[in-house]
């Protein structure tokens, strides 16, 4: 009887491990979609490419659907596999990462929407946003690698780079406001660029949230990486 119980438990664990792996791989694939959306949105802004921007917006529902599917898979796994505390923590953390990725996708689409609103308007002075976009994409990739490897130091390093995004945002914000004061004709353009800049700044914040989940998964400790 005891041998049979061990066999059943082992089989149950195999099923759970497969489902957990499916969630983890799904989160990574979703992250790749989101990182591509950031790159495309920033590229569209730099080139004032309305068609490329429209493609980013059109692709956002696929990111939303991926998050919905992952959430459903997590719920099903919890309901059918009754995971123990550590496994449950892992599943719920992955679900939170997927949520943050979905919100990052929304911010990437937000940047793209500003490109559409700008249209053919001259956006000279927006080149500094490129660096924010490059950093946002880079730290997202770093956070996802840290998730795959459960590498807490790498997650902390990714989160620390958000400080540079914040610095660039605040510097750009001040310069844009000054230009809007001295060039009233640039107010509309400046407002759209500031909205795009804010979306990029928020991407950095949400990547930091993902990094915090990675640290929690790797160490069991809750750390505030926003300070």
**CA–CA distance, 159 with 143 (Å, rounded to integer):** 8
Per-residue pLDDT of 100-115, as tens digits, reads 999 999 999 999 999 9
Task: Assess contact for 35 and 56: CB atoms under 8 A.
Answer: no
**CA–CA distance, 116 with 119 (Å, rounded to integer):** 5
Residue ranges of domains in the chain: 2-219
CATH number (1.20.58.220, 2.40.50.140, 3.40.50.10490, 3.40.50.720) of 2-219 reads 1.20.58.220
CA atoms within 13 A on the CB side of 145: 12
Per-residue pLDDT of 151-197, as tens digits, reads 999 999 999 999 999 999 999 999 999 999 999 998 999 999 999 99
Q: Two tokens at 223?
A: 């750390």
Q: Specify the pTM.
A: 0.90
């Amino acid at each position: 009887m005891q041998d049979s119980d061990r066999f059943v438990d082992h089989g149950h664990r195999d099923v759970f491990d497969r489902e957990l792996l499916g969630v983890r791989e799904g989160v990574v694939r979703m992250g790749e979609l989101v990182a591509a959306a950031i790159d495309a949105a920033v590229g569209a802004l730099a080139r004032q490419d309305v068609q490329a921007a429209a493609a980013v917006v059109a692709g956002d529902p696929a990111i939303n659907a991926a998050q919905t599917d992952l959430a459903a898979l997590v719920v099903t796994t919890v309901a059918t596999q009754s995971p123990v505390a550590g496994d449950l923590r892992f599943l719920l953390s992955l679900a939170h990462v997927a949520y943050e990725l979905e919100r990052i996708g929304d911010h990437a689409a937000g940047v793209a929407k500003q490109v559409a609103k700008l249209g053919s308007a001259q956006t000279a002075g927006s080149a500094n946003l490129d660096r924010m976009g490059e950093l946002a994409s880079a730290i997202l990739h770093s956070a996802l690698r840290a998730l795959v490897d459960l590498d807490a130091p790498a997650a902390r390093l990714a989160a620390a780079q958000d400080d540079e995004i914040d610095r660039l945002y605040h510097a750009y914000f001040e310069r844009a406001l000054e230009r809007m004061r001295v060039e009233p004709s640039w107010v509309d353009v400046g407002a759209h660029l500031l909205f795009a800049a804010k979306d990029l700044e928020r991407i950095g914040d949400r990547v930091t949230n993902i990094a915090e989940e990675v640290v929690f998964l790797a160490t069991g400790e809750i750390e505030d990486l926003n300070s």
